Amino acid sequence: MRKRRFISLLLLVPLILILGVGCSRYKPRPIDISKGEYYEDEEYQKLSKKDREIYCDKLAEELVVLEERSETALNELNHNKEEIKRLTSELRDAERVYANLSAQVDELSKQLQALVALPKSWVLVYGECLWIVAGYEDIYGDPIRWPRLWRGNRELIEDPDWVLAGWEIAIPREWPDRHVVVQDEWLAKIAAYWEIYDDYRKWPLLFEANNSKINDPDLIFPEQELVVPR
């Protein structure tokens, strides 16, 4: 009996040594928790107590890092939401402004088309005078503006009270940026012209824009070309 027990113990000792040596020599695979690499359950069970503690400490550290990142991302998300609200509000305001400007552009386009369609010249017929022509809707729509026709046709019309049927007169419509002085004109008179400022009190604008050629605002000469600032 004793001999058998001894033999059994001799057989168990190598087995115990093999199992003990085998467990102690297990080397876990290298992982990087920051990259999302973790041990499987089976691998974790094979870790030594020390390796488990190290692994758990690293997991705890990574958890802190992830929580900080989550808080930062949440703050950025809230900031971006506020920014989106602000930009959305600005976009709506811009859309309203755009719609308003588009409506104005459409209206101006219609006015421009209507202006382009207006006659640029007019052939006088018997019984017409500058007063009558200026009053036509497609000319100026106001007979009082007849002097504009005269000033725009001085080479043809010497006396505005004397015009002949068959004459073709120009219909000036632009706002001039130049004015050539004629006899019996002065700055206030020129400023009062409808196509200039329609206000005699604005004569200083003409004087200031032409002070290099006008020393005395009460003294201007025929044939002087004046700048008309707009």
DSSP notation for 47-99: S-HHHHHHHHHHHHHHHHHHHHHHHHHHHHHHHHHHHHHHHHHHHHHHHHHHH
What would the CATH number be for the domain defined by 119-173?
3.10.350.10
What residues does each domain of the chain span? 26-111, 119-173, 174-230
Answer whether 119-173 and 174-230 agree in fold.
Answer: yes
What is the per-residue pLDDT for 109?
Answer: 87
Mean pLDDT score across all residues of the chain: 87
What is the per-residue pLDDT for 60?
Answer: 86
Structural fold of domain 174-230: Membrane-bound Lytic Murein Transglycosylase D; Chain A (3.10.350)
Residue 169, beta-bridge partner list:
122
**Which tens digit of pLDDT belongs to each residue from 184-200?**
999 999 999 999 999 99
What is the per-residue pLDDT for 162?
Answer: 94
Q: Which stretches in the chain have pLDDT values below 50? A: 2-24
**Which tens digit of pLDDT belongs to each residue from 45-60?**
998 999 899 989 898 8
Contacts of residue 33, defined as CB under 8 A and 6 or more positions apart, other chains included, come to 58, 59, 62
Which residue type does 95 have? E
